[in-house]
Structure 1
Amino acid sequence: MKNSTNLPQNISNTLFSKLFTSIKKLPYAVGQAFSFKRNVSEIKTLRKTTKVIMLIMLIATFATFILGHDFSFAGWIGLVTSTAVVLNLILVDQGRLTNYSWGALGCAVWLIIALNNRLIGDIASQTFYLVMQFVGISVWNNKIEQQTDKQELVSRSFSWLEGLFWLVVTITIYLIVLFFSKQLNGTQVYLDATLLPLGIVGMVLMTYGYRSQWVAWIALDGINVVIWFNQLQISSPASTSMFILQIIMLINAMYGAYLWFFGQKEAKK
């Protein structure tokens, strides 16, 4: 009976201990993610196929910027965003910790673009993503340190019941965001409202190394292609760069899904 009585306290102490340890290690983890030396090393050691895809994505990004003739402040912000997102995505594909350094940069500048376009769902999404970059740095660093392979995060899978839970979470958040988007007179509210719930689910699953994250990312990127195509029709700020970026992200999400489902070993639960 004594052990049973102390069980909640023991669980609480364990969770607090883990949280304290993660916070204590965060400066080191952030230093690793933003390390110039580690960034160079992790890009150099990517698979040949991944490097080819990265090169194509970067060429497409810069070509779109030059051919679009949008050399305004918003245009340059779009270029920086696209470049950071490409490098972030490529490094996520192979489970590299340094993806978060580019992810943080990409989220910050993307947030500026979303504000200029009054995309309420996108603004909420990018704010959430920015915070989650640092949560992800802490979790990924701890998990990679516990693995035999210290270079690449090993993927995990979950049950159908857990999948159903995340589906319900996605729909619930969508309805909440849709309500507020309508109240705030957002743009393309029905499509835009999908971005935050899909982003939340994708980021949480990504943070804890679940390969099913790619289902959320593929859905989100496909919707983003439609949203930015519509923005392109009205010549909104940085719309050309962002539209091409969405296509690039969708293609990359499919490649990332292939690697995480078939190209990596699965972590033991």
Structure 2
Amino acid sequence: MMHTQLNILGMGLKKCFNPKAITGELGSLSIKDYLLLSILLASQVVAFFLSGTFDSMSSLSLIVGIVTIVNLILVNRGRLTNFTFGIVATVFWLIVAVKSHLVGDVFSQSYYLVMQFIGIYAWQKDMLKTHGSEVTPKNMTLGK
């Protein structure tokens, strides 16, 4: 079946923002993934409380940290719903960067936001080609 580029992106977006797909993919992680997730999330929360700064920007930074950790665990597993968390983290960090006048971060997060949608398209296209529920990992080799 021939899929158009917008159709592929639409299918990927639909899956990314489907609560059932998100909970399903989060629920299918391995014990090692849950252990790593627990350690990283606990570290993030402890660091937040030890910082002693509890204003709105630091609270938003805590949310960004938590969402980014979940994003990275899902990326590592090749799950398409990682982009849901990636978009949320990017938008929130963009807000922090704008409020903090971090010009370089504003530009980089704007770029990352666009790349989230390109990633959704590329990952969905790969999954359609392989008929899989995860992205096929690729090996990097040194060129000659």
Structures share a fold, TM > 0.5? yes
For residue 106 of structure 1, report the CA deviation from its aligned partner.
0.2
User: Considering only aligned residues, what root-mean-square deviation do their CA atoms show, in Å?
Assistant: 2.0
Residue 30 of structure 1: how far off its partner (Å): 0.4
Gaps spanning 5+ residues in structure 2: where? Answer: none
Any idea what the Cα deviations from partners look like across 1:58-110, whole Å, max 9, x if unmatched?
Answer: 11112222232322110111111111101111100111000000000000111
The one-letter code of the counterpart of 1:38 is A
Match of 2:88 in 1: 105
Structure 1 position 137, deviation (Å): 0.8
Do residues 84 (structure 1) and 67 (structure 2) align?
A: yes
**Greater relative contact order, per chain length (Cα 8 Å cut-off, separation 6+):** 2
Structure 1 residue 158: Cα displacement: 4.5
Which amino acid counterpart does residue 51 of structure 2 have in structure 1? G
- Contact kept, 8 Å, 2:75 with 2:82, in 1: the verdict is yes
**TM superposition shift of 1:159:** 4.9
Quick check: which has more Rg, 1 or 2? 1
Q: What letter is aligned with 2:135? A: L
2:26 equivalent in structure 1: 43
Given the alignment of the two structures, is residue 30 of structure 1 paired with residue 13 of structure 2, yes or no?
yes
**1:194-222: CA deviation from partner (whole Å, max 9, x where unpaired):** xxxxxxxxxxxxxxxxxxxxxxxxxxxxx
Deviation at 1:146, TM superposition (A): 1.9
Q: 1:160, CA displacement in angstroms? A: 3.2
Q: Distance in 1 between matches of 2:52 and 2:24?
A: 34
Report percent identity of matched pairs: 29
Match of residue 112 from structure 2: 129
Letter in 2 for 1:122: D
User: How many angstroms apart in 1 are the aligned matches of 2:55 and 2:127?
Assistant: 41
Measure how far apart 1:123 and its partner are.
1.8
Which amino acid counterpart does residue 86 of structure 1 have in structure 2? I
**Alignment map for 1:1-269 (pairs within 5 Å):** 21-148=4-131, 150-161=132-143
Distance 2:139 2:62 in 1: 35
- The question of whether the paired residues in 1 share the 8 Å contact of 2:9 and 2:121 is answered with yes
- Separation of aligned partners in 2, 1:63 and 1:159: 39
Q: Following TM superposition, by how much is the alpha carbon of 1:138 offset from its aligned partner in structure 2, in angstroms?
A: 1.3
Residues in 2 aligned to 1:99 and 1:153: alpha-carbon distance in whole angstroms: 11
Distance 1:157 1:22 in 2: 26
Q: Which runs of 4+ in 1 moved over 4 A?
A: none
Specify the code of the residue in structure 2 equivalent to 1:108: V
Determine helix, strand or coil for the equivalent of 1:71.
Answer: coil
- Cα distance change of structure 1 residues 65 and 159 upon mapping to structure 2, 3 Å threshold: closer
Structure 2 counterpart of 1:104, one-letter code: I
Using the alignment, how far apart are the partners of 1:145 and 1:48 within structure 2? 28
Instruction: Name the TM-score, length of structure 2 as normaliser.
Output: 0.88
TM-score (norm 1): 0.49
